[in-house]
């Protein structure tokens, strides 16, 4: 199913990483051909790779910032795949930095509370 070196994520982890609710991820899977996570043969659980997460972030960007509809996303993803789009890379980096800042702030608050005790 996967290489042992591949990092895989559950739908909950993907939702937390991307900020996209689980129900929307499931909805997008039905409507977007490029978004097809692997499934465990026995449990039928979804497992997402880093590539799937990248695709989810691209879909989220296209829906929110470019105001595209789900029907046009497949064509746009194909075009991005062929031509490349640095805008999406920048947005992904900005989202990642935003998430890192939040986590660092939480660590700072936790450390301060431990020091104050």
The secondary structure of 41-59 as a DSSP string is TTT--EEB-HHHHHHHHHH
CATH numbers and ranges of domains, the chain: 11-84 (1.10.1660.10)
pLDDT at 70: 78
Please give the Cα distance from 108 to 62 (Å, whole number): 34
Comparing 19-33, 41-55, 80-94, which segment has the lowest mean pLDDT?
80-94
The DSSP call for residue 40 is -
Full-model pTM: 0.61
In the predicted model, what is the mean pLDDT of the chain? 83
pLDDT at 103: 93
Question: What is the mean pLDDT of the segment spanning 78-105?
Answer: 77
């Amino acid at each position: 199913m996967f290489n042992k070196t591949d990092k895989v994520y559950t739908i909950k982890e993907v939702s937390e990483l991307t900020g996209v609710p689980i129900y929307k991820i499931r909805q997008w899977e039905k409507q977007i051909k490029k978004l097809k996570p692997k499934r465990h043969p026995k449990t039928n659980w979804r497992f997402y790779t880093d590539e799937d997460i990248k695709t989810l972030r691209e879909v989220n960007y296209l829906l929110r910032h470019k105001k595209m509809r789900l029907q046009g996303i497949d064509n746009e993803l194909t075009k991005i795949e062929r031509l490349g789009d640095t805008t999406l890379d920048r947005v992904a980096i900005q989202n990642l930095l935003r998430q890192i800042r939040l986590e660092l702030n939480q660590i700072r608050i936790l450390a301060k509370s431990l020091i104050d005790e």
